[in-house]
Chain A
Amino acid sequence: MPLIDLANPSRFLAFIERLLPWLVVATAFALMVGVYQALLVAPDDYQQGATVKIMFIHVPSAWLAMFCWGLMSVAALGTLVWRHPLADVAAKAAAPLGTAFTFLCLLTGSLWGRPMWGTYWVWDGRLTSVLVLFLMYLGVLAMWRTVEDPSRAARAAAILSLVGAVNLPIIKFSVDWWATLHQPASVFRIGGPTIHPTILVPLLAMGIAFVLLFVTLHLAAMRNEILRRRVRTLRLRFAQAGA
């Protein structure tokens, strides 16, 4: 199937139906490998002990929290510039996922911070900018729920997504710009990762598993959103026919 055909919602839906079972199997397998690596293979850290195991869910959640907003920003361009309905669908389906992974990032970070830093929370650049990201996700969710017309809601959410994208480099570089308890970048950095391979490999395994999980959930949520719009269209027609 040519890639351009996927721009058609019906063909995209058929493509998702074929792909989803394979993605579910791949995600389940990747999660099993990731969890096995994280809990049973990765050694304890020489300073942090076993609490380093929290990193294997905290860091992939943080990656997805930022990636998801990036995806919504790209979709926002599709909405505002090309007015493509699938861009709206992609953005709307991504918002709850991004909210959930940002929440998970904040929660696991607090649970990691308490034994290592002695506190659940500090108002430093990294933690505060991720909290702002979480609040922006809630704002996008509220926008989708309060504006009834999907195309108007999509435009409003797209503008918020593009404005909010400014926060992504702030999150990334906050640990370099300001004093913080949070450790600096240790995987995606110039000069390569600073983590020992025995911990880096399980982290990347969990990262791949989380990305597959996100792709699976996102495509399934997009399928639901396309169906929801069909339902809305039929109901409007039903109401008009009855009027």
Chain B
Amino acid sequence: MHLGPYAGFIVAAYSAAVVVIGALVGWIIADHRIQTRTLDDLESRGMTRRSSSPREAA
């Protein structure tokens, strides 16, 4: 693969895509862990929602 005289611009564009998409994926995974852990912690302290048993309803 030969990228020619503007290889720097092409590499920068693809690197930016990797960083931005990687940041989105990382943020969503981290956020899911935080919410799940917090929910587990609250439920372990006996707090459940009115509508159902723990973790079964919105």
Interface, chain A (partner B; CB < 8 A): 8-10, 12-13, 39-40, 44, 49-51, 53-54, 57-58, 61, 85, 96-97, 100, 103-104, 107-108, 111-112, 114-115, 213, 217, 220-221, 223-224, 226-231, 233-235, 237-238, 241
Across-interface contacts of A115 in B (CB, < 8 A): 5-6, 9
- Name the residue of chain B whose CB is nearest to the CB of A241: B47
Q: Are A220 and B28 in contact (CB under 8 A)?
A: yes
Interface residues of B in 28-55 (CB under 8 A from A): 28, 31-32, 35-36, 38-39, 42-43, 45, 47-49, 52
Q: Are B6 and A230 in contact (CB under 8 A)?
A: no
Complex Cα–Cα for A107 and B13 (A): 7
Q: Are B58 and A220 in contact (CB under 8 A)?
A: no
Top 7 A-B residue pairs of the complex, sorted by shortest distance between their CB atoms: A9-B58, A227-B35, A10-B57, A115-B6, A50-B4, A234-B42, A108-B13
Complex Cα–Cα for A220 and B16 (A): 22
Across-interface contacts of B32 in A (CB, < 8 A): 220, 223-224, 227
Q: Are B24 and A111 in contact (CB under 8 A)?
A: no
Across-interface contacts of B2 in A (CB, < 8 A): 50
Across-interface contacts of A226 in B (CB, < 8 A): 58
Distance to closest chain B CB from A238 (angstroms): 5
Q: Are A213 and B21 in contact (CB under 8 A)?
A: yes
Across-interface contacts of B42 in A (CB, < 8 A): 231, 234-235, 238
Number of interface residues, chain B, beta carbon within 8 A: 37
Interface, chain B (partner A; CB < 8 A): 1-7, 9-10, 12-14, 16-17, 20-21, 23-25, 27-28, 31-32, 35-36, 38-39, 42-43, 45, 47-49, 52, 56-58
Known: A58-B13, A111-B12, A241-B47. 16 other contacts (CB 8 A): A8-B58, A10-B57, A50-B2, A51-B9, A57-B13, A85-B58, A97-B24, A107-B13, A108-B17, A111-B9, A220-B28, A228-B31, A230-B39, A230-B58, A231-B39, A238-B47
Complex Cα–Cα for A61 and B1 (A): 24
Complex Cα–Cα for A44 and B1 (A): 10
Across-interface contacts of B27 in A (CB, < 8 A): 96
Across-interface contacts of A103 in B (CB, < 8 A): 20
Of B1, B7, B23, the contact of A40 (CB 8 Å cutoff): B1
Q: Are A228 and B16 in contact (CB under 8 A)?
A: no
Across-interface contacts of A100 in B (CB, < 8 A): 20-21, 23-24
Given contacts A111-B12, A235-B42, contact A224 B49 (CB under 8 A): no
Given contacts A50-B4, A213-B21, A230-B58, contact A112 B9 (CB under 8 A): yes
- Name the residue of chain B whose CB is nearest to the CB of A8: B58
Complex Cα–Cα for A238 and B46 (A): 10
Complex Cα–Cα for A97 and B21 (A): 9
